Amino acid sequence: MSTGLPVLPEQRLSQLLAHYRGDLARRRLQSLAILGCLVVLVALAGRWGEVEPGKLLHHLSGLTSYFGRIMPTLRADHLTGDIADWYWNFFGWLKLLFDTVLIAYLATFVGMTGAGILACLGAANLAPNGAVRWGVKRLFEFCRTVPDLVFALLFVSAFGLGPLPGVFAIGIHSFGTLGKLYVEAIENIDMNPVEGVRSVGGRFVDAVRFAALPQVLPNLASYTLLRFEINVRASSIVGFVGAGGIGQDLFVAIRKFYYTDVSAILLMIIVTVSIIDVLTERIRHRLAPVEIVA
């Protein structure tokens, strides 16, 4: 009554088995080769990166004690006093955080304006000229490949300390990334309205204003808001090189081992960033129902 499996003839079975074993061996060899490559690369990288396992063990206790030390001492019976001690400079940091958000806003504005104008010249379906288009695309590429902190360092030397170099550094990086996204959005529009405007004698500017812009505006706004989120994170960092915002205070706190200040400022940054993320995400979902993968 059992529904047994059909047993293959011995000869056929051994044939299949040999085939399977050969397959398996080949796969094993391949895995071993990959593993070998990886080991060689790790050894090379370890040499260049000056990794010493002994140092790691030595520092392991330092690592845990560091994170223990940046935690504030909060006692249940002195809670308000302890929190006041921990956040002794709450309003000062709050002002700096507000500065940080404004730097991000200005940078997004700069990037958005520049990218908006140049994207129309860089999109294949609107560009009046192939050479201009090529130049614009390379410019976007350059601006988004050079890290914003490198721009910040350069601009701090040129403009002096303060929020202005931060705004320009993050702005230029946003210009590069937004430009690429804008160009892609514009290249995907329906061309009929553009031809309509051109057919009744509209110029380049008219075609952009009355045919392209209405189609892409929700998308562009959504990208820009997403960029604003990213810029808030970036602007909390540029202070490390003297370009304004909360980064400067965080830098000093970490460098001078003001342990509890580090956790206080970090917590404030994390909370601010999450609040802004939630707010802009709401607006973005209202603007464009599709989820954007940046």
Partner 1 sequence: MSGRYAIVAGDPAAVLAQHRALVTKPWKQRAADIGGPVAMVAMLVFSIWWLDISLGQIGPGLGALCEFIGLMFPPSTGGHLRLFLTAMAETLSIAFLGTLVAAGLAIPLALLAAENTSPNRILRFLVRRLLDVIRGVDTLIWALVFVAVVGLGPFAGILAIAVSDTGALGKLFSEGIEATRARERETVAASGGTALMGMRFGLVPQVLPIIAGQVLYFFESNTRSATIIGIVGAGGIGLQLSEQIRTYDFDQVAFIVLLILAAVAAIDWISGKLRFAIIGRRQP
Q: Does 278 bind partner 1 (CB under 8 A)?
A: no
What part of residues 200-219 is at the interface with partner 1 (CB under 8 A)? none
Q: Does 169 bind partner 1 (CB under 8 A)?
A: no
3-state SS assignment for residue 126: coil
- Residue 248 CB coordination number (10 Å): 18
Q: Does 236 bind partner 1 (CB under 8 A)?
A: yes
The residues, any chain, with a CB within 8 Å of residue 225's CB and separated by 6 or more, are 280, 283, 284, 287
Among 3, 73, 80, 145, which residue interacts with partner 1 (rule: CB under 8 A)?
A: 145
Among 87, 93, 155, 182, which residue interacts with partner 1 (rule: CB under 8 A)?
A: 155
Size of the chain in residues: 294
Report how far residue 190's alpha carbon sits from residue 204's, in angstroms, rounded to the nearest whole number: 16
Whichever of 198 and 233 has its CB closer to partner 1, that residue is 233
Size of the site for partner 1 (CB under 8 A): 58
CA atoms within 13 A on the CB side of 256: 8
Q: Does 83 bind partner 1 (CB under 8 A)?
A: no
Whichever of 109 and 204 has its CB closer to partner 1, that residue is 109
Terminal alpha carbon distance of the chain: 61
Report how far residue 114's alpha carbon sits from residue 107's, in angstroms, rounded to the nearest whole number: 11
What part of residues 99-128 is at the interface with partner 1 (CB under 8 A)? 99, 102-103, 105-106, 109
The phi and psi torsions of 287 (rounded to 5 degrees) equal: -70, -55
Residues that bind partner 1 (CB under 8 A): 41-42, 44-52, 55-56, 59, 62-63, 66, 98-99, 102-103, 105-106, 109, 145-147, 149-150, 153-155, 157-160, 162-165, 167, 233, 236-237, 240-241, 244, 250-251, 254-255, 257, 262, 266, 269-270, 273-274
